[in-house]
Amino acid sequence: MNSDFTIYIKWSAILTVAVLVFTLIAFIFKWGFRFRLVGITGFMGVITAGLFGLSLGLFSYTDVPGAVSFSVVYDNGGSQVVIKLPPTVTESEVEASLRKASADLYSYGRLGGPNSEMTIRARTVIHPEQGISKPVYLGKVQRSLSQQREDTDLDIEIFSSQFAQLPTSSDTPTPKIN
C-alpha cells in the first residue's frame, strides 16, 4: 500500500504545481477568477501534505520470520482482536503469526479496559463435512497496551490439542487440471 501512496503523492504534487503555475498566469493577466485559484492551490497543497503524512505512519508492519499471512476477522478497536490463519498452519507458524499480529495491530489509540491489555486470538476454519464450517481456535497472545510496539513481554498460549482437528495435506482434495 505504501507504493500506492507514492504514486498518489507524486500525481497530487504535479497537479498542485500545475494549478500553482495556472494561478500565477491568472495573476499576471489579471483574470477575474484568480482569487478562486488561490483557494484551489492551497487546498491542493493540503491534500498533497496529507497524503505525504499518511504515507509516513499509516502502515507499519513488523517482519517476523515464520509468520504466515493472516486476516483480521474481528476487531472491536480496543482490547479484542481475532485473526484468521490458513488451516495448514503449524504451531511454530501460529506463534510467529501471533507475534506479528501483536506488533502490527498495536496502536496508541486502543483502549485496553481496566487492565490495559489487548488479546489477539488466532483461529482457522475447517470443514468437517460438506456445507459445515467449524472455527478452531489455535492460540492467543496478550500484550500490554502501555508498552511500545515491540513488546518483549508477550503472553503467548498455543492450544496444541486443537491441531489434531486440522486437515493434513492428504485430506485436501487435489485440483483437477482439464
* Distance, CA of 24 to CA of 34 (rounded, Å): 8
- The DSSP H or E segment spanning 17 is helix 2-28
Residue 89 lies in a domain: yes
Across-strand partners of 35?
none
Whether residues 89 and 147 share a domain: the answer is: yes
pLDDT in tens, 109-158: 777 666 778 899 999 999 988 989 999 999 999 988 876 666 678 899 99
What 8-state DSSP symbol labels residue 68?
Answer: P
pLDDT in tens, 33-50: 999 999 999 999 999 999
Residue 144 lies in a domain: yes
Residue 174 lies in a domain: no
Percent of the chain with pLDDT over 90: 58
- Count of structural domains, the chain: 2
Whether residues 31 and 94 share a domain: the answer is: no
* Distance, CA of 83 to CA of 70 (rounded, Å): 6
In b/e form, how buried is each residue of 142-178, taking b as 16+ CB within 10 angstroms? bbbbeeeeebeebebebbeebbeebeeeeeeeeeeee
Evaluate whether 166 touches 126 at the Cβ level (below 8 Å): yes
Q: Which residues contact 91 (CB under 8 A, 6 or more apart)?
A: 158, 160, 163
C-alpha distances (whole Å) from 118 to each of 63, 68, 85, 169 are 20, 21, 19, 34
Question: When comparing pLDDT for 78 and 39, which is higher?
Answer: 39
Residue 178 lies in a domain: no
Is residue 174's pLDDT more than 60?
no
pLDDT in tens, 149-167: 666 788 999 999 999 998 8
Whether residues 43 and 75 share a domain: the answer is: no
* Distance, CA of 106 to CA of 25 (rounded, Å): 49
Give the domain range for residue 104. 71-165
Looking at residue 178, its pLDDT comes to 44
- The DSSP H or E segment spanning 132 is strand 132-144
Whether residues 88 and 42 share a domain: the answer is: no
162: cell is 486443537
